[in-house]
Structure 1
Amino acid sequence: MRQWVRDRAEMLVFAAVFLLGLYVALLGGWFLALVGGCVMVIGGVLAIGAFRRSPFRRPIGAPGVVEVVEGAIRYYGATERGGEIALRDLSEIRLLRVEGRAHWRLRSISAEALLVPADAAGASALADAFTALPGLDMGMVSHALAQVADKDDAIRTVWRRPV
């Protein structure tokens, strides 16, 4: 039970904000209804975002650390090669399975590639970084992440830079 709550803590907090807004809205009066409605909208939007980021949160199982700093994705590999790619230079994101573990393959405009394990420390920050990309569907990314975990040799292209 504790693990379930820990995995969904962010979403549960935002759902509680939504319910607090509902409570305030039902206290009576147009002003409280307006304030409560605003709080409900904020809590609902944040809860949806937390729900979409939930597949990115995985137990740490791969060596290395992922950072997203100033518009750049950095991977410091312990046993694998690391590197850095700026978000503005990304041309393609693929999700693939390498040696039984899901990896993000980030390709730049200049055809450089960075392989980042999906279960490396800090890899959940990629969810927020990916939302800045034009035309990226986070629902499709979450679905691909679930499918790659189920199949042994799955490769999914989840985003390509619009031409």
Structure 2
Amino acid sequence: MKDFIRPELRHAFWHARELIGGLAVAAFALWWMLSSHGIMFWTSIPAMGLGVVLVALGLQRMRFRTEGNGPGVVEVDEARIAYYGPLDGGAVSVRALAEVALDPRGRPDHWTLRESDGTTLHIPVTASGVEALLDAFAQLPEFRTERLLLARQVNQGAVYVVWQRPGVKPPKGDALLPPTSAKRRAD
């Protein structure tokens, strides 16, 4: 049965699995809404809302997900992010993070996670299991997923700070805030 679907198509479906699930829920809710009357019609509205939310989350995850065939493995366990690489590795606490940045200077690009005590962990964006970082980062105060996704699209050749703990200053000369964040802080 596994050979029935081409590997490329199976990979594409797996890559967009949350989006496909959200579309299925939304389609079922739409069918339910159009084929029902009275109280059944009104109960289909929350199901449609759930489908729309799942589609939005699926799009975010699909944009963040990489091939996962890069060096090392990422493991997120409760509030701890661990990276096991072929040459280096380590772990950081989500609660102690002071900064999350994307560093395009390495090959492949790396997520740079810095704790408030200066401990830094570099994780390749292509590491296996890197999609678990999205859930870990969602725990951070004032974290914006759109900045994370924007960091993957912007290639400015310098470190792109995705998130900083409020009240923490970046290290000088190494991390640059994009112009949009400076403008937002002034507002």
Aligned to 1:107: 114
Structure 2 stretches lacking a partner, 5+ long = 1-7, 168-187
Matched, 1:91 2:132: no
Give the aligned residue type for 2:129. Answer: G
Matched with 1:141 is 148
> Match of 1:62, SS?
coil
TM-score with structure 2 setting the length:
0.79
Greater Rg by CA:
2
Q: How does 1:35-74 map to 2 (within 5 A)?
A: 35-74=43-82
1:61 Cα offset (Å): 3.2
Q: Secondary structure at the match of 1:122?
A: coil
Residue 28 of structure 1 and its aligned partner are, at CA, apart by 2.5
Cα RMSD over matched residues? 1.6
3-state SS of paired residue (2:83): strand
Match 1:11 to one of 15, 19, 22? 19
Which sections of structure 1, spanning at least 5 residues, go unmatched? none
Structure 1 Cα separation of the partners of residues 158 and 19 of structure 2 = 29
Secondary structure, aligned partner of 2:86: coil
Query: CA contact under 8 A between 2:72 and 2:86: conserved in structure 1?
Result: yes
Deviates more, 1:56-65 or 1:123-132: 56-65
**How high is the TM-score relative to the length of structure 1?**
0.90
TM-fit CA distance, 1:83? 0.8
The SS at the match of 1:23 is helix
Higher strand share: 1
Which of the numbers 130, 142, 147 marks the counterpart of 1:123?
A: 130
- Report what 2:3 is aligned to: none
* RCO higher in structure (CA 8 A, sep ≥6): 1
Distance in 2, Cα, partners of 1:116 & 1:77: 8
SS in 1 for 2:104: strand
Q: What corresponds to 2:158 in structure 1?
A: 154
Displacement of 1:24 in angstroms is: 0.7
Q: Percent identity at matched positions?
A: 31
In 2: Cα distance, 1:123 partner to 1:28 partner: 42
Structure 1 residue ranges (4+ consecutive) displaced by more than 4 angstroms after TM superposition: none
Native 8 Å contact 1:95 1:155 kept in 2: yes
Check the 8 A contact 1:62/1:119 in 2, yes or no. Answer: yes
CA distance in 1 between partners of 2:47 and 2:124 (Å): 37
Secondary structure of residue in 1 paired with 2:122: strand
